[in-house]
């Protein structure tokens, strides 16, 4: 196909050299040239361009929606962590945890505390800490699955759009050679429409694919950050539960310890 494009370019140069009037005016605006290419495009090229336009609009809609959702989740994550670290009891933070949605940390918190309630009623040392860890991993996986929705469309568009544009390029080259055969002479007028279709569909495919690929990479990086934060928060919550379980029995023993008869202090 590259050889074919070079051949057509040589024909264009030869025709322009022999016919200076065939050269486009230098002062012609770029937008007018683009409109002319669109006007000269055939049904196949227009179909490809419309398909690429739909893919571009959908990819931008997904990227904007995901970026806003991730920003909201990040803001609520920070607020929830601050509230969690300031609170002294799990029951207090559980009562207000739903106020911090759509933070994915809320799902991790509820999953771990629910498992803790099932094991020991929310008091004492959990008999099966491994189950709490599995609950945290399950909650993190479910939250990430929800956040990853429609992300595969970005990857698909980034990979498919160049091939859709290439299809339009191939059809434009075929149309250009068909024009050569119909005209019976190697002139610029015969191949210009096909070249226009080939160039505009190729450029459109790249314009659609590049933003989709960049958006997918950026959003994927943010998803990895959310996954790390959920893992860190799960470990922090498990540590808080274990520390509370260890300190509670000691405080109870101190309260119930009998009074030493040798102690001069007496209750009033």
Would 43 be classed as within a structural domain? yes
Nearest in space to 57 (alpha carbons), one of 161, 130, 191: 161
pLDDT of 54-63, one tens digit each? 999 999 999 9
Would 243 be classed as within a structural domain? yes
Tell me whether the omega of the peptide bond preceding residue 209 falls within 30 degrees of 0, making it cis.
Answer: no
- Domain total for the chain? 1
Buried b (16+ CB within 10 A) or exposed e, 87-104: eeebeebbeebeebebbb
pLDDT at 268: 32
Would you call 137 exposed, middle or buried from its count of C-beta atoms within 10 A (0-12, 13-18, 19+)? middle
Helix axes 188-256, 2-18, angle to 10 degrees: 140
- Kindly state the percentage of the chain with pLDDT values over 70: 68
pLDDT at 61: 96
Domain region containing 178: 33-249
Would 15 be classed as within a structural domain? no
Would 256 be classed as within a structural domain? no
Q: How far apart are CA 20 and CA 3, in angstroms?
A: 25
- pLDDT surpasses 50 at 5: no
Report field, pTM of the whole predicted structure over 0.85: no
Nearest in space to 15 (alpha carbons), one of 191, 195, 169: 191
Would 11 be classed as within a structural domain? no
Would 64 be classed as within a structural domain? yes
Total length of the chain = 268
Would 58 be classed as within a structural domain? yes
**Confidence at 239, pLDDT banded by 50, 70, 90:** confident
Q: How far apart are CA 171 and CA 198, in angstroms?
A: 7
Would 57 be classed as within a structural domain? yes
Q: How far apart are CA 196 and CA 202, in angstroms?
A: 10
What are the helix (H) ranges across 87-187?
Answer: 90-96, 104-120, 129-147, 151-183
What's the chain's average pLDDT?
77
């Amino acid at each position: 196909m590259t050889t074919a494009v070079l051949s057509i370019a040589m024909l264009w140069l030869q025709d322009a050299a022999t016919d200076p009037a065939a050269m486009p005016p230098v002062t012609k605006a770029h937008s007018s040239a683009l409109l002319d290419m669109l006007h000269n495009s055939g049904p196949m090229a227009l179909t490809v361009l419309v398909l690429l336009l739909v893919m571009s609009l959908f990819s931008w809609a997904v990227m904007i929606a995901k970026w806003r959702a991730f920003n909201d989740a990040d803001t609520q994550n920070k607020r929830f962590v601050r509230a969690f670290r300031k609170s002294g009891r799990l029951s207090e933070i559980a009562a207000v945890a739903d106020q911090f949605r759509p933070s994915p940390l809320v799902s991790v918190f509820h999953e771990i505390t629910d498992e803790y309630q099932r094991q020991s009623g929310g008091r004492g040392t959990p008999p099966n800490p491994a189950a709490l860890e599995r609950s945290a991993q399950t909650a993190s996986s479910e939250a990430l699955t929800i956040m990853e929705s429609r992300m595969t469309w970005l990857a698909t568009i980034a990979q498919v759009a160049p091939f859709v544009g290439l299809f339009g390029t191939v059809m434009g080259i075929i149309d250009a050679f068909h024009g050569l055969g119909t005209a019976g002479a190697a002139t610029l007028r015969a191949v210009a429409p096909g070249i226009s279709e080939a160039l505009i569909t190729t450029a459109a495919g790249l314009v659609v694919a590049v933003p989709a690929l960049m958006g997918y990479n950026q959003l994927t990086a943010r998803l990895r950050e959310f996954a790390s934060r959920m893992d860190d928060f799960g470990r922090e919550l498990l540590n808080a539960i274990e520390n509370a379980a260890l300190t509670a029995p000691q405080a109870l023993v101190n309260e119930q310890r009998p009074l030493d008869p040798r102690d001069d202090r007496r209750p009033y």
